[in-house]
Amino acid sequence: MLRECLNKKNMEKRPYLIIIFLVFLAIALPVLLFWPKYQNLRTLQLIVQQGEENLKREKEYFDEITKIHKELENHKEVLVKTESALPNDPCLASLFDYFQKTAAQTRLSLREIDFAGVTVSDKNPEIKEINISMSLTGDYYPYFKGSFSEDGEREEEGFLSVIENSARLFTVNEVSFASPQDPRDKFSFKINLKTYGY
């Protein structure tokens, strides 16, 4: 009888246990099956979110570069002057040509020019200093002050004035001159200067 009673009770509890087991299985199985997929989805969502943030930052960066480029385009003349004042590649031939033309423009003769060497600036190691020494002959006034008309008005700039007002950056270190023995002869001038480049 006891057996029968136990079997009867077990039979009555079994459907509840089966139902509870099936409910648990219905909840646990999808969780167990889809949890790795869910984790992968979350990881991919985070990667996409980080990618979107990176794209946003890159867009802001390129927008800023575009803005700076437009501003530089508006100041193109200043940049060209700066480039000519401090060229990346200071060409000795162009310097010689510049001094030759400037001497002729101010009615002087360039007799000798010596490029004494290129050194690195003490103040900024990226800047090159080009030391130049030259000898010129001509009248005193065109060299220093320029040409003047009979009524005292300036007609032309002098050699030093042209160099000082040049777009190119020059530093005059030394100027010397000698007056001629014969008043019909020309003055002799020597000038030592530096110019700069990158």
Say if 144 falls within a structural domain: yes
Identify the domain boundary among 74, 99, 128: 74
pLDDT in tens, 86-129: 666 667 788 888 888 888 888 888 899 988 778 787 888 888 88
Q: Are residues 41 and 111 in the same domain?
A: no
Give residue for tokens 């079994």: 14
Q: What is the CA radius of gyration of the chain?
A: 44
Q: What is the DSSP letter of 87?
A: -
CA nearest to 158, candidates 148, 172, 173 = 148
Distance CA 15, CA 151 (A): 129
Give residue for tokens 């190691």: 125
Note the pLDDT of residue 2. 46
Q: Are residues 93 and 60 in the same domain?
A: no
Say if 79 falls within a structural domain: no
Q: Are residues 100 and 25 in the same domain?
A: no
- Helix 2-74, helix 76-85: angle, nearest 10: 70
Exposed/middle/buried for residue 159 (C-beta within 10 Å: 0-12, 13-18, 19+):
buried
Q: Are residues 59 and 107 in the same domain?
A: no
User: Residue 109: in which H helix or E strand, if any?
Assistant: strand 108-120
Q: Are residues 68 and 117 in the same domain?
A: no
Say if 179 falls within a structural domain: yes
Q: Are residues 97 and 191 in the same domain?
A: yes
Identify the domain boundary among 74, 104, 133: 74
Q: Are residues 98 and 69 in the same domain?
A: no
Q: Are residues 174 and 107 in the same domain?
A: yes
Question: CA dihedral in degrees (92, 94, 100, 103; nearest 10)?
Answer: -100
Q: Are residues 68 and 92 in the same domain?
A: no
Note the pLDDT of residue 44. 92
Q: Are residues 68 and 105 in the same domain?
A: no
Note the pLDDT of residue 188. 85
Domain that holds residue 55: 1-74
Regions in the chain scoring below 70 on pLDDT:
1-14, 81-90, 140-156
Note the pLDDT of residue 59. 94
**String of b and e for 134-150 (b: at least 16 CB within 10 Å)?**
bebbbeeebbbebeeee
Q: Are residues 7 and 102 in the same domain?
A: no
Total domains present in the chain: 2
| Longest CA span, the chain | 156
Is residue 189 within 8 A of residue 176, CB to CB? The reply is yes
**Coil, strand or helix at 49:** helix
Distance CA 94, CA 157 (A): 21
**CATH number of 166's domain:** 3.30.70.60
